[in-house]
Each structure stands twice: as C-alpha cells, then as structure tokens.
C-alpha cells in the first residue's frame, strides 16, 4: 500500500472515530441516564399525555407509592399546572418563574436546565378531576410531613372533603405519628372515614359503637346520613327484601294521611291523578253549551257536589279525564304498601347508628343544659356587676338614682379614652379600672353633695332630679364623643372562647366579667364587714339617729356610700364596655335590669342582689330559649313575671330589716 493510500485510510479512521464520539454525545437519553422520578414519568408517559381521568390513575398511583422524595414536589407542581413537557425528547420539567423568566427545573434535582419556550415545551393542564386525584395522592405525603402544621392542615383538608382513597393513607400514617394530639386526631378521623368508606360491615359497626355518646359535630354529620329515610310505595303487601326498611306506614295515620298516600301513588305513576276543584271548574266552563253542561243546567251548578256530578258525567262520555272515586282511592291504597327505607343498605349498620345517635342525644341534652346554665350565669354576672353599685345607692341609702346607667357609661368612656393614649390593651385596662372608679366616685360625690343630700326621703323628687341628670350626662357625652359607637378593645388574651366541646363554649370576656363580679362581691363584703366605713354604713342603715348619737356623721357616710356605689358602677362600665359597644345609650340598656335585680333580690342585701341577678339572668335566657327569634318579647315576659313575683314577695328574695326595709 502506497504512502498516500495509508494516509487516506488513517484520515478515514479518524473521521469515523469522531463521528462515533459525536453520535454518543447526542444520543437520546436512556432509562439509565434519567433520574428516578423522570424515569417513572417516562414509563407512564403515554397515560400522562392522554390526560384522561379514566386512565391516569396508574400514573398517579405509581408516583404516590414510589416513596421518592421528589415525587410529592412533582405532584404539587402538576396539580398547580406548573409542569411542562419538552417536545424534542418528551422529558418533563417543573416550571418556575424567576425575574420574569420561566425556567425549566429538573424533576429530580430541582436545578434549572434552561428556559421554557412556547415553541419548545407543552404545558400539562390537568382538569378538575385529575387535580382531585392528584390531591388524594398527595395526602399520604402530607400526613407524614415533618412539619406538624402541614399534617394538621392535611387532616383538616380530609375532614372537609373526604374520599375513600384517604382512608388507606390515613391508616398508614397513624403508626409513625409521634405527636399525641395529632395521633389522636388521626385515629378519630380514621374511625369517621371507616364508617363512610370501609367496605367491611363489621369494621363500620365497631367504629360506630366507638362513638357512643360522642357529641362531636363530625360524628353527628357522619351518622345522620346513615339514618336518613325516604318514603316509598310498592304494589303488594310487603316491602321488597332488598330494602332496609325503617318502618311501614299506614295510610290515614298521623305519619301518613290519606291525601299524602294517594299523592305518593300518583307520583309513582301507580294511580291516576285526582282532578282538582280548579280543573273541574275549568272543564265545566269549557263545555258549556246553550246554558248547560250536558244534562246539567249551569244555574244548578252552585255546589261542589253538583259540579262534581256534572264533571263525572262528562268523564263517562270520554270528554274529560276521569277522577277517581273515594272507593277507587281506598282500593288503590289497600293494594299498595307504604314504607320508609334507609339509604344505607345494611340494617346492622343503621341499627348501630340509631343506637349511637340515641346515646349522643342524651349527652346533647345534658351539654345543652350546661351551656344554657353557663349562658345564664354569664348574663347574671353582667347584671350583678351593673347592679352592685345600685345595691349600695338604692338598696342601702334608699336613693332612686336614675343616672346610675350614666355612671356605667362614664366608666366605659374612661376605658376608651385611656386606650387612645395607652395602645397596650392590657396596660390600658389596668390603668382604666382605678381611673374609672375615681372619676365616677367623684361624680357620685358631687351629685350627692349638690343634689341628692337635699332630697333624702323624697323619692319622687329624687327620681325626677336624677332622671334629669341622666339626660344631661347623655347629651354631654354626645357632644364630646358623638353618637357613633366607640371601640374599647379587649387584649388578645381575652379573645376567643373556652371551648369544652362542640356544644359548650363561653367567651373569655364573659369569664373575665364573672371573675370580676366575684372580686367585687368579695370587696363589698370586706368593706361592709371588716372596715370602719362598713360598720358606720351598717349603723346608719339600721338606725341613723342612733348612729349620729354615737358620733357617726350620717351626711359624710351618705356621701362616701353614694360615691362608693357610683365608683363601682364606673368599673362595671369598663367590663360591660369590653363586652358590648361603647355608646351614649350604654347605661340605658342596663338601668332597668339593675333596678329589677336589686328589687327582686331584696333591697339593701348584697346576697339578695346576687340572687336577683341569678334569677333574672336565668329567666331571660330561659324565655329566649323558648322564643329565640324575639328578644324584645323575652324582656317583656320577664318584666311581667317580675311584677307578679313582687306581688307575692314584695320585699324580694332576701328581705332586709332597717331603713331599707321600711321604704
């Protein structure tokens, strides 16, 4: 071989080697070159590309059961329609926008491999059904997510929209759950889903029995559909064996009237429809000829019986549809069976559900009674707090102070003003409580010195004078604060409610008012029984002349007592302002109940005031429970009852001897 030939052969071999290297560099990716998630997607590529709800299931199940760390990331992106397929090789990528550019991220590494272009990629757009299937597959990952908040969120999502596929995923996540609260929630939800979706009848019954007495809303929402019934009618004397019969109905009974039974036959097309009175009248009018309808003169058709006879004559001629007679109706009802059947086919399941619901109903009654009691006690504590100051000024001193409600209003506005300067809600309340007492104490002392002291033992003049002061204080508040409600915000630790279960709950503000009422009851008892002021007040109350002869100044005691009662009204305003709206009419909402509380309980006795508040609060809640749609009627009935009560016990529940008793 010549040198030129050897050189040509060498060049050919070099070019051939280069071609082989280039071909290897650009060869299509094989399964060995792909990451595990991409390889799994390529195995199910045809199903994903078809994107049909009927056929996509195996592809989603393969991802969900793969155990790959990046599988849930891809499923979430797919559900969010952020997955793209490259047209050149069919590989799948996750789209991610950064600085206005849509990048293609590798499904296994999450690294960017380039930019997504409109002509080089196709976006996967799963429909609602497929997205729902993806969401079901994601549940098992979310239930085992390291973040407890995500696990709780997954449980809430399942509870809102449960599916049969969730049951398996939920059961698989319980054993590995380390958080006791979340584990308990998973076990509870698993039992709920078992009742609805488990094909094993025994498992369903055991789950139902496990909820005996449980008043949770989720349990009742699960069990109630099992015992829902529908009315059915079939020819013959027995319901079909394929039906889970709740009860057989007898036409003409309270459960099923004759008309209802026949209407059911007509609806099932088992009997001809009855002709209504309007149809008979219309048919007769349409067939009037020469002043008569057939052989019946129009002048004679003035009763229902006559019109029916004329209609039946037309029906006999085939002119109008016939109407069944009473005998035909009775025969039709006698040859059919009416019954109610459960939608749930298993009688054992419905029996268990009914037994559990009965036990739940008993507990519901007990818990509703407890909730009613808490509401009554809460309302009573509000009335007691509003009336405790009046128990001093009216009960002890015998002064009919119609401006007591305005002292409550002044206390509430004091809290509002303090919060304007002290944004910390907790600190503002701590400052507002003594400040409200001081302001209303001073206002009470001023009113007693300027007006009340000249009107003792003159109840009518006292009433008119304090009523005028009430109007003046309201107008003054309107001039300063306006007529709109002002915010007096409770601190965060008073937000929400103490929830015992799905039936019993009470707001933290009401609990705080109850505690505050007990505190002031204790303060009142301490002042009246353990201090010199209390001793002198009791002496003046029992016998003012004898107290004066012992060196006690009745005028001074009256002034301090009136100021003390007014100051407590101001603190009540702080509590009530947190509970309701701060307006100029705030005090007027409680003045009537305050007087009723003092009078019913027993004038001049703090324990009587407590008893009166309890009685009025319970009575009002009881009337509202009987007539919840009309609170105004409840207050009216309450006032009428109290008027009758006073007729039989004019001195109240606990009567007091002394000056207050002689009013």
Closest CA to 470 of 578, 581, 591: 591
Task: Tabulate helix, strand, coil % of the chain (nearest 5).
Answer: 65, 10, 25
| 663 pLDDT more than 50 | no
**Mean pLDDT across the stretch 58-64?**
82
| CA dihedral for 203, 205, 208, 209, sign (positive or negative) | negative
Q: Are 265 and 332 in contact (CB under 8 A)?
A: yes
pLDDT in tens, 455-495: 877 888 888 898 899 899 889 988 888 888 888 888 888 88
The strand ranges marked E within 44-100 are: 83-86, 92-98
pLDDT tens digit sequence for 323-364: 787 888 888 888 899 998 998 888 899 999 999 999 998 888
Instruction: Give me the chain's average pLDDT, please.
Output: 82
Give, to the nearest 10 degrees, the angle between helix 347-390 and helix 404-421: 100
Q: d(Cα 171, Cα 191) in Å, to the nearest integer? A: 10
Q: What is the pLDDT of residues 420-453, one digit of tens each?
A: 888 888 899 899 999 999 999 999 899 988 988 8
Would you state the structure tokens that stand for residue 311, as one six-digit string?
């209609």
Q: What is the pLDDT of residues 85-104, one digit of tens each?
A: 888 888 999 888 877 778 88
What is the torsion angle, in degrees rounded to the nearest 10, for the CA atoms of residue 144, residue 150, residue 154 and residue 160? Answer: 170
pLDDT grade for 655, boundaries at 50, 70 and 90: low
Contact yes or no for 569/407 (Cβ under 8 A): yes
Contacts of residue 444, defined as CB under 8 A and 6 or more positions apart, other chains included, come to: 393, 407, 562, 563, 564, 565, 566, 567, 569
What average pLDDT score do residues 108-123 get? Answer: 86
Lowest-pLDDT range, 207-216, 436-445, 553-562, 603-612? 603-612
Q: Rounded to whole angstroms, how far apart are CA atoms 6 and 483?
A: 111
Per-residue confidence (pLDDT) for residue 560, from 0 to 100: 87
- Dihedrals phi, psi of 371, to nearest 5 degrees: -65, -40
Q: What was the pLDDT predicted at 604?
A: 66
Look up residue 455 and give its DSSP letter. Answer: -
Tens of pLDDT, residues 124-144: 888 888 887 887 777 777 787
Q: Three-state SS across 585-622?
A: CCCHHHHHHHHHHHHHHCCCCHHHHHHHHHHHHHHHHH
Percent of the residues in the chain that have a pLDDT greater than 90, as a whole number: 9
Distance of CA 95 to the CA centre of its chain: 41
Helix (H) or strand (E) segment spanning residue 524: helix 508-530
Q: How far is CA 473 from CA 390, 405, 409, in A?
A: 17, 10, 9
The mean pLDDT of 559-565, rounded to a whole number, is 86
Adjacency order of strands within the sheet including 229-235: 229-235, 336-342, 245-249
pLDDT reading at 625 higher than 70:
yes
Q: Can you give the pLDDT at residue 355?
A: 92
Query: What is the reported pLDDT for 1?
Result: 53
pLDDT digits (tens, 9 = 90+) for 522-552: 888 888 888 888 788 778 777 777 878 888 8
Does residue 637 surpass a pLDDT of 80? no
Residue 341 pairs with which residues in a beta bridge? 230, 245
Helix (H, G, I), strand (E, B) or coil at 288: coil
Distances from the Cα of 234 to the Cα of 54, 180, 238, angstroms: 38, 53, 8
Q: What's the full length of the chain, in residues?
A: 663
pTM of the shown model? 0.67
Question: Given pLDDT bands bounded at 50, 70 and 90, which one contains residue 279?
Answer: confident
pLDDT of residue 526: 87
Q: By the 8 A CB rule, do 446 and 429 touch?
A: no
Q: What is the Cα–Cα distance from 23 to 387, expressed in whole angstroms?
A: 96
| For residues 404-417, average pLDDT | 90
pLDDT band at 214 (very low <50, low <70, confident <90, very high): confident
């Amino acid at each position: 071989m010549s040198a030129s030939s050897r050189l040509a052969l060498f060049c050919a071999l070099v070019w051939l080697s280069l071609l082989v290297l280039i071909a290897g560099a650009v060869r299509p990716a094989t399964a060995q070159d792909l990451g595990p998630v991409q390889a799994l997607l390529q195995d199910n590529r045809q199903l994903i590309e078809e994107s049909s709800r009927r056929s996509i299931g195996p592809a989603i199940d393969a991802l969900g059961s793969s155990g790959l760390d990046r599988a849930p990331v891809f499923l979430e992106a797919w559900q969010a329609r952020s997955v793209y397929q490259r047209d050149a090789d069919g590989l799948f990528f996750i789209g991610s926008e950064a600085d206005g550019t849509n990048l293609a991220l590798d499904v296994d590494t999450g690294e960017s491999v380039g930019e997504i272009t409109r002509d080089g990629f196709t976006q996967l757009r799963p429909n609602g059904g497929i997205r729902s299937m993806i969401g079901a597959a994601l549940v098992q990952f979310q239930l085992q997510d390291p973040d407890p908040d995500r696990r709780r969120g997954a449980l809430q999502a399942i509870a809102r929209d449960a599916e049969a596929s969730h049951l398996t995923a939920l059961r698989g996540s319980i054993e590995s759950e380390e958080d006791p609260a979340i584990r308990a929630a998973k076990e509870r939800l698993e039992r709920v889903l078992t009742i609805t979706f488990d094909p094993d009848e025994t498992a369903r019954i055991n789950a139902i029995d496990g909820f005996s007495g449980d008043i949770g809303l989720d349990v009742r929402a699960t069990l109630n559909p099992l015992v829902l019934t529908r009315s059915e009618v079939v020819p013959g004397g027995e319901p079909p064996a394929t039906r889970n019969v709740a009860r057989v109905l007898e036409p003409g009974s309270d459960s099923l009237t004759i008309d209802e039974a026949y209407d059911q036959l007509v609806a099932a097309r088992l009997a001809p429809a009855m002709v209504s009175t309007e149809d008979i009248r219309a048919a007769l009018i349409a067939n009037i000829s020469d002043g008569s309808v057939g052989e019946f003169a129009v002048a004679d058709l003035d009763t229902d019986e006559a019109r029916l006879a004329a209609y039946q004559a037309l029906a006999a001629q085939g002119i109008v549809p016939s109407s069944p007679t009473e005998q035909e109706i009775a025969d039709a009802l006698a040859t059919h069976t009416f019954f109610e059947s459960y939608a749930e086919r298993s009688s054992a399941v419905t029996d268990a559900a009914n037994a559990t619901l009965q036990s739940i109903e008993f507990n519901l009654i007990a818990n509703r009674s407890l909730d009613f009691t808490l509401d009554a006690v809460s309302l009573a504590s509000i009335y007691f707090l509003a009336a405790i100051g009046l128990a001093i000024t009216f009960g002890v001193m015998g002064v009919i102070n119609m401006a007591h409600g305005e002292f409550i209003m002044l206390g509430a506005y004091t809290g509002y003003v303090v919060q304007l300067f002290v944004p910390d809600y907790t600190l503002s309340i701590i400052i507002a409580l003594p400040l409200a007492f001081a302001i209303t104490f001073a206002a009470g002392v001023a009113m007693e010195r300027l007006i009340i002291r000249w009107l003792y033992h003159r109840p009518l003049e006292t009433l008119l004078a304090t009523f005028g002061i009430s109007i003046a204080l309201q107008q003054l508040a309107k001039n300063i604060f306006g007529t709109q409600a002002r915010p007096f915000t409770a601190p965060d630790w008073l937000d929400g409610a103490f929830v015992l279960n799905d039936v019993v709950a009470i707001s933290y503000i009401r609990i705080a008012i109850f505690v505050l009422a007990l505190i002031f009851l204790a303060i009142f008892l301490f002042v009246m029984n353990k201090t010199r002021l209390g001793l002198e007040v009791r002496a003046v109350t029992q016998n003012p002349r004898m107290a004066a002869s012992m060196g006690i100044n009745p005028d001074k005691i009256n002034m301090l007592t009136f100021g003390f009662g007014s100051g407590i009204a101001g603190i009540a305003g702080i509590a009530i302002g947190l509970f309701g709206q701060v307006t100029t009419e705030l005090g007027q909402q409680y003045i009537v109940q305050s007087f009723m509380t003092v009078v019913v309980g027993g004038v001049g006795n703090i324990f009587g005031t407590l008893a009166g508040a309890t009685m009025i609060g319970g009575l009002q809640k009881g009337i509202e429970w009987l007539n919840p749609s009309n609170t105004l009627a409840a207050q009216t009935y309450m006032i009428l009852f109290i008027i009758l009560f006073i007729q039989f016990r004019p001195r109240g529940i606990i009567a007091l001897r002394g000056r207050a008793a002689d009013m």
